[in-house]
Amino acid sequence: MNILKQNLSGATMRALFCAMALGCLTARAADAPAAVPPPAATNAITVPSGLTVDDVKASILEALVMRKLTVVDQVDGKITAYYASRNVTLTLAISYQMDQVTIEVKQWDSRPKALKSQERWLANVRKEIMDALVRRKAYK
């Protein structure tokens, strides 16, 4: 660095520094992924036979409580749930029938840091619902 300081004027050093900084910023912006939309496919869960619609609804609500999601709305055959904490922000629409539960992502945080956490949370919600359904079936 001392060799550069001795041979280059201050203006030249500043110009080189600005060019390097601009190059680094441009490279970083090019590496950043574009906003990622929520998963297009819905997540379907097959309900074990022998459960009623009320059993399915109770299992879903139990799973949502276990995962600390807030139930925003409950309409015939559909539950809307919300979760927000640090890097995770999810809004899910969960439709249920006697034979199937479908999870649809309504709102998804597209920041790169949040994506991995959200995918993990979605997988955990699916697993928790499946486990609750199996437990309810075992009680019958």
pLDDT tens for the chain, 140 residues: list them: 555 455 555 555 565 555 565 555 444 444 444 444 445 445 789 999 999 999 999 999 999 999 999 999 999 999 999 988 776 678 899 999 999 999 998 877 767 776 777 778 888 899 999 999 999 999 87
Domain 43-139 listed as CATH 3.30.230.10? no
pTM over the 0.85 mark: no
The residue extents of the domains of the chain are: 2-31, 43-139
With left for phi above 0 and alpha for psi between -120 and 50, is residue 18 left, alpha or beta? alpha
